[in-house]
Amino acid sequence: MRFSDAEGQTGAPLIDPFGRTITYLRLSVTDRCDFRCVYCMAENMHFLPKAEILTLEELDRLSTVFIDHGVKRLRLTGGEPLVRKGIMTLVSSLSRHLETGALEELTLTTNASQLSRFAKDLAAAGVRRINVSLDSLREDRFRAITRWGRFQQVMDGIDAALAEGIKIKLNVVALKGVNDDEFDDMIHFCHERNMDITFIETMPMGEIDQNRTDQYLPLSKVKQDLSQRWTLSPSPHKTGGPASYVTVGETGGRIGFITPLSHNFCESCNRVRITCTGTLFMCLGQDDAADLCAPLRASESNAGIINAIHHAIERKPKGHDFVIDRLNNRPSIGRHMSVTGG
């Protein structure tokens, strides 16, 4: 697949009302996943019909429009992006923007269940870094958290990616009373393999089967606890995402912290998200969105898409409204994380 770049002239950069330039796009290629993580999905999910999902060509076209307007980092998400049929056709096509220098990074976030199949092809397409979501190194606990996950399949996927020279960062959702006794083991596991690790606060998105308030663990507490056993020094390392990093003196490796609740990162937000249906969310923690599917399918010209994007960026809020509602146990945002794309 090669989407035509006939209209791929460099356009005006996307700058929001607060002077932040949008250089990072997170693109969901599917709402489906082969796991059912307890903090992310209900066990019996209802997924979108195929007709509502953008084709691979449409995903390519939208991405190209954003790249033409200054996006330098593109992350493919889901659901689980590697369960999307034909996903490597899209990745290979998008890699042309790496070759021209228009795109600095093409990457993805995955649960690693399919990495053994795709690691070699991803590396060949120019993917140099992957985020792997993994919340436990204990097989029984991993199974309980993911409901459907196969632990050894994930381990094999991580090994396959590392063997291809792909850098991996482990993303761990910090869950109080669930995996908070494993953090030291996870740091050892990652740093022994030259992998970074990032802890993430659970986000109040979507109705799930459990009480999310009981799981919430502020990372300020995690960091304070870790500092009792590790020598943590501030690190200037940045990946373009929302994590702040420290370096561990004992290992030389890095730990990241993503804190949407205890200390939000909105002031420097350079990101927007597109769902697999072509809905543009200017903020993960707000419901305001713009429909890009209609102008995408209405004309072969990109003019309508570009106009819709610029109007949407003009509405990008200063920050999100995430809050853990302990009184009503309701999520701040009704849609599941798998719908928005991480």
193 is in an annotated binding site: no
326 is in an annotated binding site: no
186 is in an annotated binding site: no
39 is in an annotated binding site: yes
| Token pair recorded at residue 311 | 């109007």
101 is in an annotated binding site: no
For the chain, the distance separating the N- and C-terminal CA atoms, rounded to the nearest angstrom, is 26
Distance of CA 228 to the CA centre of its chain: 30
Phi then psi dihedrals of residue 201, to 5 deg: -75, 140
Q: How many CB atoms lie within 10 A of CB 259?
A: 20
245 is in an annotated binding site: no
Rounded CA-CA distance 258/263 in Å is 9
Residues 6+ apart with CB under 8 A from 22: 13, 14, 15, 16, 66, 70, 71, 270, 271, 272, 313, 316
Name the β-bridge partners of 231. none
273 is in an annotated binding site: yes
Phi then psi dihedrals of residue 87, to 5 deg: -55, -35
269 is in an annotated binding site: yes
167 is in an annotated binding site: no
Q: Read off the DSSP letter of residue 216.
A: B
251 is in an annotated binding site: no
Reported residue count of the chain is 342
Residue found by looking up tokens 């990457």 in the block: 107
266 is in an annotated binding site: yes
254 is in an annotated binding site: no
147 is in an annotated binding site: no
Give the DSSP letter string of 74-107: EEEESS-GGGSTTHHHHHHHHTHHHHHTS-SEEE
Output the known binding site.
Answer: 26, 33, 37, 39-40, 75, 79, 109, 133, 169, 203, 266, 269, 271-273, 283
Output the known binding site for GTP.
Answer: 26, 75, 109, 169, 271-273
Output the known binding site for S-adenosyl-L-methionine.
Answer: 39, 79, 133, 203
Output the known binding site for [4Fe-4S] cluster.
Answer: 33, 37, 40, 266, 269, 283
